[in-house]
Chains A and B, each alone.
Chain A
Amino acid sequence: MEHLELFFKSIFIDNMVFATFLGMCSYLAVSKKVSTAVGLGAAVIFVLAITVPLNWLLDQYVLQPGALSWMGADYADYDLSFLSFIMFIATIATMVQLVEIVVEKFSPSLYNSLGIFLPLIAVNCAILGGSLFMQSREIATLGLATTYGIGSGIGWFLAILAIAAIREKIRYSNVPPALRGLGITFIITGLMAIGFMSFGGMLTGGDEDTAEEKTVEVQVTPTENTELANNTKIEE
């Protein structure tokens, strides 16, 4: 139950793009075509699912105040949390490199679709943001951290897919010249973010209410996903 709650919360309520504006740079730069957006989105899910749990372990056993106590009583009062930025970004950069090598070796077809995006991802704010939010929200277990990573990845994926589809269609509309391209994309994203704010009420009811709402949400999501998937096929 806890997992399900965190999962939907990280997809809809705390959506990376619409609630915290993470990964906006690549979101704006790579959303001109649906097919490339899908590639980058998938790569983000993949990398978040790996780096968030990894950084959780790092945070729990190395960086937190007192985390080094497993090395003996002498180390119990060490506080290395000021190193977390540098450790997180180093983990992310090396993991991305490693994932790239492994994927290239074992699955050339996946590499062809994800490959060019992987290096881009090391500097995507969504990835580092995922780890930093995991740290500041004090997620309790490794399992929850994984769920959080995958959930936020899927949220980012949905966002970039939606904006890419809209941008492909908007080419046929008569946008004022000065707003064309970047300007209108910003305003659409703003409107989408307002739409996503309505999910905020999803987890706020009493216990029974939340349970009810969640089951509804479970039924809704697959259809939404298939709709989006269908859209992509048509677009391609």
Chain B
Amino acid sequence: MGLLSKKDAALIKDPLADNNPITIQVLGICSALAITAELEASIVMSISVLFVLGVGNVVISLMRNIIPSKIRIIVQLIVVATLVIIVDLVLKAFAYELSKTLSVFVGLIITNCIIMGRFEAFALGNGPWRSFLDGIGNALGYAVILIIVGFFRELLGSGTLLGIPVLGDPIEKTGLYGFGYENNGFMLLSPMALIVVGIIIWVQRSRNKDLIED
């Protein structure tokens, strides 16, 4: 990492595993679960959050000395809301179908706790470059979980990835289906998202005993 010092690199690496915003800090779960039935939606959601968190962290960090602390929540909300409106309009213009699938969950990025949490905990006390790295790191940590959940739910639920059938054709009985494999439609229902995240947490904490709660 020639470009980044060790401390800066940690800002990006930590949230990916040991300080993951979803499984460890318990932030931003709302939107993480509802839209993960398809991998494509998960990826688009991750990119949206990456944009909002990266840019938002920089903006808040630049303004951190002129925001009166009493009204900082409102200022933060306005900054996020503006960025989210941009994301929403871009999605509507270039990926209309997808923006229908994501429906209100794009709007709910505003109240995604990861964003407010990082603004409060990091951007208000650090310079723009470090805040940017922190935003990118946390958004990537969020993306990792979203993509893992989306991958398993789409693969097991409908036998496709990004809409492309990978396990053969369920009607023609080719590929895996020839051996009597069936899609687990249950994976597409929303409760399974919770259980998949629960299992990810289980695996992660079994591998790293320091994370276990009392």
- B192 close to A (CB within 8 Å): yes
User: Which residues from chain A contact B116 at a C-beta distance below 8 Å?
Assistant: 123
Q: Is the CB of B33 within 8 A of A182?
A: no
Tally of B interface residues using CB under 8 Å: 46
Q: Is the CB of A190 within 8 A of B110?
A: no
A178 to B209, CA, bound (A): 8
Q: Is the CB of A197 within 8 A of B191?
A: yes
- A90 close to B (CB within 8 Å): yes
- B172 close to A (CB within 8 Å): no
- Choose from A29, A129, A190 the contact partner of B26 (Cβ within 8 Å): A29
- Choose from B85, B108, B189, B197 the contact partner of A82 (Cβ within 8 Å): B85
User: Which residues from chain B contact A179 at a C-beta distance below 8 Å?
Assistant: 198, 201-202, 205
Q: Is the CB of A25 within 8 A of B26?
A: yes
Min CB distance A91 to B, Å, is 11
User: Which residues from chain B contact A177 at a C-beta distance below 8 Å?
Assistant: 205, 209, 212
A119 to B73, CA, bound (A): 9
Interface string of B59-98 (1 = CB under 8 A from A): 0000000000000011001100110110011000000000
- A128 close to B (CB within 8 Å): yes
Which A residues have a C-beta under 8 Å from some C-beta of B? 18-25, 28-29, 82-86, 89-90, 93-94, 119, 122-125, 127-129, 132-133, 136, 176-187, 189-191, 193-194, 197
A-B contact pairs, 10 of them (CB 8 A): A21-B29, A24-B29, A90-B78, A123-B116, A125-B112, A181-B213, A182-B23, A183-B198, A184-B198, A191-B191
